[in-house]
Amino acid sequence: MSDYLIKKYAGLTPYVPGEQPRDRVFIKLNTNESPFPPSPGVAAAVEKEAGNLALYSDPECTDLRAALAAKLGVKAENLLMTNGSDEILYFAFSAFADRERPLVFPDVTYGFYKVLAGLIGVPYTEMPTDETLAVRPEDYAGGRRTVVLANPNAPTGLSLPLSTIGDIVKNNDGVVIVDEAYIAFGGESALPLVEKYDNLIVTRTFSKSRSMAGARLGFAVANEALIRDMNALKYAQNPYNVNRMTAAAGIAAIREDGYYLGNCARIRETREKTAAALTELGFTVLPSDTNFLFIKRHGLDGAGYYAALRDKGILVRHFDTARLKSHVRVTIGTSGQMTRFLEATKEIIKEKEV
């Protein structure tokens, strides 16, 4: 810390992203990226758009929003495009949460919520998940609060049914943000509720299911008034938040959606096979609606298992907190990668004699 950092940020705890190692080739199952490359049209669109980089990007993302609106069956006015979906969370927390409408989210969820609340300086309450790490819906209904729920949730992979999400939205006086980063892999989307409720924001990302984590593209679907409020923040902060190449990539990806739906189906199939194999090996595997599995095994501590896999060239994610430290989170890769992962796991069980 320099002598110049202002007091407000002295205690800031940053989000710790999963490793992106550069020294060695790993099988990377640690940050929930897609194991498949973007569709062919994406590379072509990016290359073409590179010729226009002298000009600022379109702050309205007109073409991208039109393509996405048509795909989702919503109006362009219901969409806000952002630099990754993390940016929407920033706009939404800033616009809709304060001391009078504090944030609530589960104690086991995406770690970024807490970090962002700290940055913005909004009070938050973490509602305890139950002994199975499931969200308890009754904790989120009632009152004037800003609710944030990842559905399906991370790092557990568990999801709440649409009827439950609907009840939470209906019975809350504040804004409810449903983070659907993983919805392409399972669970029920809250998108049909956007028309019905003026306090619901659904956020999605091209990072996981659309193989575009490096492009940084996310979006919000909400009632027009909420989108206008968040747009005001965007124009105050960074009007050109989505760059030209990313917008072009997004349009191409929407056009080639069939490719991605095929990939998601393969990932779901590989997930179920991997889960069955892990269960066979004595693991407890949470039922997952995502592109990852949250697992633990009696006699195998999370940190040790993580380190042993790393030694064998496989990266997974370990969270060193009281409730999560016995687990690891494993992103579903290609079926070949998962075979390698299962072999390594068998070796580790044998080596450790557990």
Ligand X SMILES: *Cc1c(COP(=O)(O)O)cnc(C)c1O
Which residues here bind ligand X, judged by CB under 6 A?
32, 84-86, 110, 150, 154, 179, 181, 205, 207, 213, 218
| Contact by Cβ (8 Å): 221, 198 | no
Nearer to ligand X, 179 or 289 (CB): 179
Start-end of H helices in the chain: 40-50, 62-72, 85-96, 112-120, 162-170, 224-237, 244-255, 257-280, 302-311, 335-352
Closest to ligand X by CB, 112 vs 348, is 112
Least CB distance to ligand X at residue 32 (A): 6
Question: Which is closer to ligand X, CB of 154 or CB of 242?
Answer: 154
Give the integer Cα–Cα distance in Å for 106 and 139: 9
Q: Whose Cβ is closer to ligand X: residue 95's or residue 150's?
A: 150
Cis peptide bond N-terminal to 152, omega within 30? yes
Q: Residue 10 Cβ, how far from ligand X at the closest point, in Å?
A: 26
Q: Please say which residue, 116 or 227, places its beta carbon nearer to ligand X.
A: 116
Structure tokens of 10?
Answer: 């002295």
Q: How far is the CB of 236 from ligand X (least distance, A)?
A: 20
CB of 1 to ligand X, least distance (A): 26
**What phi, psi does 301 have (nearest 5°)?**
-85, 145
d(C-alpha 264, C-alpha 260), whole Å: 6
CB of 185 or CB of 259, closer to ligand X = 185
Q: In the bound complex, what is the minimum distance in angstroms from residue 146's beta carbon to ligand X? A: 16
Cis-peptide into 287, omega within 30 deg: no
Structure tokens at 19: 């490793």
Q: How far is the CB of 184 from ligand X (least distance, A)?
A: 12
Within 10 angstroms of residue 28's Cβ, the number of other Cβ atoms is 19
Question: For residues 147 and 176, what is the distance between their CA atoms, to the nearest angstrom?
Answer: 5
Ramachandran angles phi, psi of 110, nearest 5°: -60, 120
Nearest CB to ligand X, comparing residues 179 and 188: 179
Give the residue with the Cβ less far from ligand X, 143 or 214.
Answer: 214
What is the closest distance, in whole angstroms, from the C-beta atom of residue 87 to ligand X in the complex?
7
- Residues whose CB is less than 8 angstroms from the CB of residue 51 and which lie 6 or more positions away in sequence, other chains included: none
- Taking residue 12's Cβ as centre, other Cβ atoms within 10 Å add up to 11
Provide the minimum distance between the beta carbon of 207 and ligand X in the complex, in angstroms, as a whole number. Answer: 3
Indicate the SS3 state at residue 20.
Answer: coil
